Structure 1
Amino acid sequence: MRTDSGATTVGRGLKDDPGRGTSLSILGYGAILACFAYMSTWQGEDGAYGVLSLLPSLLIVIIAIKTKRPLESIFAGIIAGSLLIDPTNLFSSLGELSMNVVQNETIAWIVLVCGMMGGLINMLERGGSVLSFGQMLANRIKTKRGTMLTTSFLGLAVFIDDYLNSLAVSASMKNLTDRFKISREKLAFLVDSTAAPVCILVPISTWAVYFGALLEENGAVPDGQGMSLYIESIPYMAYGWAAIVVVFLVAFGLLKDFGPMKKAEERARNGQPVPDGVEDVGFDTSNVRRTSIPVGLMNFLLPMAVLIIASIYYEIDLLLGALVASIFTMVLYFAQRLMTFGELTDSMLDGFKVMLHPIAVVCAGFMVKAINDELGMTTYIIDTISPYLSPELLPALVFATMAAVVFSTGSSWGVFVVSLPIVIPMAQAMDMSMPLTVGALLSASAFGSHACFFSDSTVLTSTGSGCTPMQHALTQIPYAMIGATLAFVSFIVMGYAIA
């Protein structure tokens, strides 16, 4: 605080002394990391870390809530985990971990898909197609409730992949939600709630293809029957159904805003749908081409149709679908002289740049998973709850524990490579319904993707909607927890009914 004469008053707090506050933060982080290095000596004789394996993920959550910066909090957890494993080789282990993640086939796929999708959406934005789609909707939708319901139904329609849902639906609905003073956080919630939770319920999706193959690899069913088991499990995927119920209750206005979402909506009603601190988030729309609504609508729907058809044709591969759709869009726009080849190329590159931060967060999340795997976190959690398992409680406890694991790692797919070889034999030994067990596992995966502040779905949805991952996550978590509670109770009921 300053006096009228401009002199600084004496006795100001730490908030007014950024230098001192930064020094204390550095000292605090240094002390925490030193504690992790010291705790590396507590490793058990059998090489197990036990409860210590939970600490890096706990540190990530605490720092993220305090700083609202997911990438920095993840790296703090990575460093802490590396110190816990081997404090004497910190830099070499971090370098090796980084190389392993960069060379990972899944990471390469994610980087390319995110980049291609970012470029495609940016072309649609700059070509005026997204604007035309929004204007078409604006001519037909006259209420705030109608806007939220339309967003939710669009999310249900784009079921082939949660990445496509997160980016395409959010980008196409931003202008309309802004018009009706709906916060970007509410938009992100509506989109994200119809991303992973819906994708698990549809057998024609990237999730179904991946998990169907994974079930066969882990002996849940004979070869060639993974998809059949997946389809049998869909009625038991309680979190997916619960999330859809919650999102439509919100869209209809039957479930009122509360918690951080209430504050975000109050800000939007006062004329600020875009939250503070997101000037650099989202795609550049400063140079949008103007077309007639019919032409713009055609230029939006055709690339989307090509994207979906090509993805299905290439066995639900969104990378090849995005590549075909991007080339198709460039040819379509160039033929109409809507944009030059140079402008189309720049749009693709700029869209890729927008996705660099989300890609970095997702890659860092995979590094967290690798650290947790080395610490044995998943195995420790499952071993801890095993004495309390019974056929009746198995589905509910599998859902709760695996949801916690996915939430703490941000890896809705990768974590099941570790957990399925443990959970599937456990269910078979208890003679538990395999569709119900798979339903619990997929529900846990969807919840983790939906609720985790650094999961790929959360980060991409926030980027497409125009808010930060923490703003999106903190406003969404209370609603995700409602869905998780409904799912947990459902699994208890189904466990006693089926066991």
Structure 2
Amino acid sequence: MEHYGWLSILPPVVTVVLALVTKEVVFSLFTGIFVGYLIVSNWNPLTALIGVTDGIANSLNDSWNIRIILFCALLGAFVGLMQATGAAHAFGKAMASKVKSRKGTLFITWLFGIIIFIDDYFNSLTIGTVMRPVTDEQKISRAKLAYILDSTAAPVSVLAPISSWVVTIMSIIKGSDGFSKLGVSEFTFFIMLIPINLYAILAILMVLQTSFRKDFGPMAKSEERAIKGLGLYNEEFGQPTGEIKEGIVVKEHARAIDMILPILVLVGLAVVFFPVTTYLGAIDGENIHTFSEAVKSMSLKEAFNNTDASKALFYASVFTLVFSSLYFILRGLLTIQKVGEAIISGIKSMVPALVILTLAWTIGTVIKASPEDGGLGLSKYLAHIVTTGGFPLWALPVVVFLIAAAISFATGTSWGTFSIMIPITLPIAVALAEKTGANLLNSALISVGAAVGGAIFGDHCSPISDTTILSSTGASCPHLEHVATQIPYAVFTMVMAAIGYFVAGLLNNALAGLVSALIVFFVAFEVMVRRSKVREQE
């Protein structure tokens, strides 16, 4: 038996439905896992619960997985150090001192969001606290500030090659059925995925368009109020969420370099360790004995393509954490005791994400493994259905994008959506490409890119998304005003991205999807601006 038939689709369906109804992804994922093991154990709940326990333990028993867990935890520790030193505040203050105009302030806030790519929470809280006095002075509405914070949180984190988001996506992709047929490493796949992550790209560009061109919709009204001096926020939406004080430290002797240097070290070490880990792994003691021999045995491109991303990122995070701790102690920004406290605080902030990641691995294992290996064989069942049912490959990306967008908006989480949609999407894309003779890698990239893009939509604008809430808080903006002013922009961007995925699927070409999305985005934005001007004149 290759699969359990229609029963194999029950766990992800239960997970999706519960996520939509309860808005709670951890409970939904755990229940989906339990249902999967319930089917495998012939509906014996006690045996199923034991299976769940063993499944979670086995997920953490994998060396690749545990290094990813440790990397995420250490990244949280790194963010904790950055918060405790006041380095981010010093960096923001230095940047803000360079501009005096309204547009310049908007651009600097956007640029600050691009630079702080390592963590979306850190982004929203730190930039909001640093830039709020500056934007207030320039009569920029709190709603506009919150929108910029939100648009440079998840959308930036998912595009940056060094972040907890990257390793999460890579780990889910690596464990999905069909990935081994693509002939690339998970890191190479992620890099190739960036240009087809259309929603994230357009969301970032939307900030620039509305900063240098013109706002429209509810955001235009909030901005008009602020410019006329009628209030930086609309009291009809309630009082501001509040100012974040906990975790935001102001130290007069902190400097901008104190944030820039550790980030450069992290990125630089990661780039170095990607090929180095491959060379080290090639030393087998028989044909290759030394590191220099390993370097000569393959090109730098091959070393990057064959790297173990979990090792490279883990090594980079350990070295960076040691460097940053010593650097901050020598600079007098932290004592040894404060370093320990900051590291623990940072790791604690990552626990919810680590729980979701572990459950995502577990449900992925039970649904994709064959019945002989204790799983449901969902991938084989779905591949059989779509290849015999006549579902068109060209329609897959846009359908996946819209489903992922609906799930992420309803649940407010992109990570949970990744864990649900990617393991289902990848094997379907590969199976349909094999049937139609289309390029496997192109098909997989476009479809998985659509799943990731849809997931980012909800994380960006859902009223219950953590980054949406934190962006309201960081900007000290009434949460409902932030949601009401941001959603029209997010939906506009989503529609443009959907058109891009439709074209990409139709031509099976990621570049065509990106170009078409950019064209319709700029044209449609121009139309919206002109309509807005006409309405003002009326």
Quick check: TM above 0.5?
yes
Q: Which one of the candidate residues 236, 256, 262 is aligned to 1:297?
A: 256
CA shift at 1:420, angstroms? Answer: 3.2
Q: Is the 8 A contact 1:216 1:224 kept in 2?
A: no
SS at match of 2:82: helix
1:105–1:467 distance in 2 versus 1, CA, 3 Å: farther
Work out whether 1:423 is the aligned partner of 2:429: yes
Q: Identity over the aligned pairs, expressed in percent?
A: 17
What's the RMSD between the two structures over aligned residues? 5.1
Q: State how many pairs are aligned.
A: 433
Q: Which one of the candidate residues 130, 146, 166 is aligned to 1:176?
A: 130
Structure-1 separation of matches of 2:390 and 2:495: 20
CA shift at 1:492, angstroms? Answer: 2.9
CA shift at 1:442, angstroms? Answer: 3.6
Structure-1 residue corresponding to 2:302 = none
1:142–1:73 distance in 2 versus 1, CA, 3 Å: farther
Structure-1 separation of matches of 2:59 and 2:271: 28
CA shift at 1:55, angstroms? Answer: 2.9
Work out whether 1:57 is the aligned partner of 2:16: yes
Q: Which amino acid aligns with 1:174?
A: G
CA shift at 1:427, angstroms? Answer: 1.1
Structure-1 separation of matches of 2:316 and 2:187: 24
1:351–1:255 distance in 2 versus 1, CA, 3 Å: same
1:79–1:402 distance in 2 versus 1, CA, 3 Å: same
Work out whether 1:306 is the aligned partner of 2:265: yes
In structure 2, the gaps of 5 or more residues are: 136-140, 275-308, 369-374, 510-538
Deviation per CA, 1:122-150, whole angstroms, max 9, x where unpaired? 22222221111121122234466545433
CA shift at 1:95, angstroms? Answer: 2.5
Structure-1 separation of matches of 2:90 and 2:239: 21
CA shift at 1:305, angstroms? Answer: 1.0
Structure-2 residue corresponding to 1:492 = 502
Q: Is the 8 A contact 1:237 1:439 kept in 2?
A: no
1:460–1:341 distance in 2 versus 1, CA, 3 Å: farther
Structure-2 residue corresponding to 1:112 = 70
CA shift at 1:417, angstroms? Answer: 5.5
Structure-2 separation of matches of 1:107 and 1:169: 26
Structure-2 residue corresponding to 1:243 = 203
Q: Which one of the candidate residues 88, 92, 95 is aligned to 2:45?
A: 88
CA shift at 1:303, angstroms? Answer: 0.9
Deviation per CA, 1:306-364, whole angstroms, max 9, x where unpaired? 11111111116333222222211221122223322122122111222233334334444
1:129–1:352 distance in 2 versus 1, CA, 3 Å: same
CA shift at 1:73, angstroms? Answer: 5.6
Q: Which one of the candidate residues 322, 325, 332 is aligned to 1:337?
A: 332
Q: Which amino acid aligns with 2:81?
A: M
1:217–1:437 distance in 2 versus 1, CA, 3 Å: closer
Q: Which one of the candidate residues 128, 144, 148 is aligned to 2:86?
A: 128
1:344–1:395 distance in 2 versus 1, CA, 3 Å: closer
Work out whether 1:269 is the aligned partner of 2:233: yes
Q: Which one of the candidate residues 153, 159, 175 is aligned to 1:192?
A: 153
1:80–1:149 distance in 2 versus 1, CA, 3 Å: farther
Q: What is the TM-score when the length of structure 2 is the normalising length?
A: 0.62
Deviation per CA, 1:269-290, whole angstroms, max 9, x where unpaired? 25999965x89x99623x6432
Q: Which one of the candidate residues 348, 362, 366 is aligned to 1:353?
A: 348
Structure-2 separation of matches of 1:289 and 1:344: 15
SS at match of 1:186: helix
Q: Which amino acid aligns with 1:88?
A: P
Structure-1 separation of matches of 2:185 and 2:351: 38
1:77–1:328 distance in 2 versus 1, CA, 3 Å: same
Structure-2 separation of matches of 1:165 and 1:488: 26
Deviation per CA, 1:444-468, whole angstroms, max 9, x where unpaired? 24224414559xxx98856975869
CA shift at 1:151, angstroms? Answer: 4.0
Q: Is the 8 A contact 2:128 2:149 kept in 1?
A: no
Deviation per CA, 1:387-440, whole angstroms, max 9, x where unpaired? 343354455446556777888872637864565344224213313245642442
Q: Is the 8 A contact 1:283 1:354 kept in 2?
A: no
Q: What is the TM-score when the length of structure 1 is the normalising length?
A: 0.66
